[in-house]
Amino acid sequence: MRATLRRTLGLAWVVPALVLVGVFVYLPLVQNLQFSTLKWDIYSGAQEYVGLGNYTKLVEDPVFWSSLGNNVLYAAVSIVFQVFGALLLAALIEGVRSERWQRALRAIYFIPSAISLTVAGLLFYFIYEPNLGPLNHALRATGLGELAQAWLGQESTAMSSIIAMSQWQGFGYSTLLFAVAIQRIPAEIYGAAAIDGVGAVGRFFRITVPLVREMTGLMAIVTLSGAFQVFNEVMVMTAGGPNNSTQVLGTWLYRSGFVRNNFGYAAAIATVLFVITLGVAVAQLWVTRRRRVEW
Amino acid sequence: MVRRLSFLGVIARVFMWAFLLALAVVVLYPLLWMTLNGFKTNAELFGDPFALPLDWSFANYAKAWNRGVSDYLTTSVLVTVTSTIATVFISAWAAYGLTRVDIPLNRTLTAAILGGLMLAPTVALVPLVKLFQAMGLYNTFWALLILYTAFRIPFTTFLIRAYMIDLPREVDEAAEMDGAGRWTAFWRVILPMCKPILTSTVLLHILFTWNEYLFAMIFTSGSGVQTLPVGLTSLMSKHGTEYPVVFAGMVIAALPVVLLFFLGQRYIVKGLADGIGK
């Protein structure tokens, strides 16, 4: 009896964390499902049950589909640059013979990840600026003037321009993590391969790639998850325009709920986001299940 | 090891260096351009974007400072400091309870706390607005403090817990022999031993809070409680024609975290590596 009491008292250690996570992370998630079945005007407070009405509207909403498409594009490009590109880059950096240069390069590449997406987004908003922006300026100066255009102002290039900024901002982060993973590979393995006459390219594909496989899987998951939660950079650079061409799920959710005053519809978009991110999270568990996890 | 300098090897190295340095320029030049623009006048900025500033005066920085950046910075510092302390302590308590105290339902509770890692903040947005309005905390400092703490507890607990699991059991036994209670053992013995991971989690939390935008934008519409990321976009819309002032504000926002990264690089890298690929 006393032992049970003592064990129960031990719960005091975890109560603060449990309460905060329960009330502010889990509870809203459950509520969101309920809200998504309502037609809900936030100003008048009028709520009306519409069942799956918001979801049927969602399926017929072309902007929802284009937003989802933009997230998928985001994910695909980010996987190429921030997973495969970063892995290759990390291996190149490890190939540099000077320890000091290795450190310097890794740190330089990481700087954009340390500054906020807001600063990076604003910075590139100016870089892409059609008249005074350095990008067009440089194009004109080098005789490529016909390539100068309103990067963020036209539907054909706006999304790609945002995604390009995002790669600039994020590749250093994954490169750094891959570098850590590569450093954990025992040097003898590389040494033995070199003695066997395996070239640098062969060493990369035969040793580095298979031995950092776990990190590659995890980075793919993290990148994927992040690509579906994009919000900040789109808000800062285009706010979803021109003509909704750069809307992603996050910004379309925001616009539906907070600008067009339809909270139930926003909640329905959130449910879709939830399903996607949960799917990615389950994939992550599957990737890491081979690792020793002590619950 | 014998190094054979083949012609091809030299060519490959030259190319590798050219690529790595070019990439460094692609990363650094925009940042340098941003910093220099803070010293320019509008006319200079609209003239030749690549020119150096004529006059290295801090007038734009002063203007940015007086037009709200000082307030945004204060709010950012306050939210960052308070939520870092709250998050790290609450997470350390939870990690201690989950790893070194005999509690019922341990597995379930661990899963419940760490499970929060899987949830995207965007998904909870609509109900959270409703919740904070009901609590009367919408558009207050408290909203950000609570959100930044609650949403980062899973990640922070995950890191600290992984570290605490590896601390030897003898430590607790020795503390018990000395007649120390759980509370004393936690403060005097375990917490000091966790210093490296605590440093990592503190730095990672600072990076997160300082840069967070989604919650900051939705939950603070008033200017008194806006953090830097949201404040910068306000600065942009309010003084849209005075770009150098906006650049000055961007530099003020970016500089502290860049410095923090260089000072705490070792801990940040370790925290990230353990958090993602342990």
- For the ranges A100-114, B87-101, B133-147, B229-243, the lowest mean pLDDT is seen at B229-243
| Chain A CB contacts of B272 below 8 Å | 173, 176-177, 180
User: Would the pLDDT of B127 be above 80?
Assistant: yes
pLDDT band at B5 (very low <50, low <70, confident <90, very high): low
Is the confidence at residue B208, as pLDDT, over 90? yes
A10: DSSP letter: G
Whether A159 and A70 have beta carbons less than 8 Å apart is answered as yes
pLDDT on residue B240: 66
Q: Is the per-residue pLDDT at A96 higher than 70?
A: yes
Residues B1-6, mean pLDDT to the nearest whole number = 59
A91 touches chain B (CB under 8 A): no
Tell me: pLDDT of A35 over 80: yes
Residue ranges and CATH numbers for the domains of chain A are 70-290 (1.10.3720.10)
pLDDT for res A8: 87
Confidence category of residue B278, pLDDT binned at 50, 70, 90: low
pLDDT band at B7 (very low <50, low <70, confident <90, very high): confident
Provide the CA A32 distance to its chain's centre, in angstroms. Answer: 22
Whether the CB of B269 is below 8 Å from some CB of chain A: the reply is yes
Q: What is the DSSP string of B220-242?
A: --SGGG--HHHHHHHHHHHSTT-
| CATH (residue range B68-277) | 1.10.3720.10
Q: What is the pTM of this model?
A: 0.93
- The two structure tokens encoding residue B38: 């803070």
Q: Where are the domains of chain B?
A: 68-277
SS3 A129: coil
Q: CA of A107 to nearest chain B CA: how many angstroms apart?
A: 8
The answer, yes or no, to whether residue A290 has pLDDT greater than 90, is: no
pLDDT at A233 over 80: yes
Confidence band of B277 (pLDDT split at 50, 70, 90) = low
Per-chain mean pLDDT for chain B? 91
CA distances from B136 to A32, A82, B131, B132 (A): 20, 41, 9, 6
A134 close contact with B: CB closer than 8 A: yes
Whether A14 sits inside 8 A of B93 (CB atoms) is yes
**In this complex, how many residue pairs, one in chain A and one in chain B, have their CB atoms less than 8 Å apart?**
269
How far apart CA A287 and CA A151 sit, in angstroms, is: 38
**A84–B contact, CB cutoff 8 A:** no
Calculate mean pLDDT across residues B132-147: 95
Model pLDDT for residues A117-148, shown as the tens digit of each residue: 999 999 999 999 998 889 998 999 999 988 99
Report the C-alpha gap between A251 and B257 in whole angstroms.
26
Rounded mean pLDDT, A2-28: 92
Tens-place pLDDT, residues B215-267: 999 998 876 899 999 999 999 888 767 899 999 999 999 999 999 999 999 99
Exposed / middle / buried, residue B137 (Cβ in 10 Å: 0-12, 13-18, 19+): middle
> Cα distance from A79 to chain B (closest Cα, Å)?
16
Torsion sign (Cα): A42, A44, A47, A53: negative
B26: burial class by Cβ within 10 Å (0-12, 13-18, 19+)? exposed
Element (H, E) at A39: strand A38-40
With beta carbons under 8 A apart, name residues in chain A contacting B123. 28-29, 32, 270-271, 273-274, 277
- Calculate how close chain A gets to B74, using CA atoms only, in Å: 17
HSE of B35, CA atoms in CB hemisphere, 13 A: 9
pLDDT of residue B9: 80
Statement: residue A64 has pLDDT above 60:
yes
User: Cβ contacts of residue A117 below 8 Å, gap of 6+?
Assistant: A169, A232, A233, A236, B211, B213, B229
Contact (CB<8Å) B257/A295: no
- B126 and A266: CB-CB below 8 Å? yes
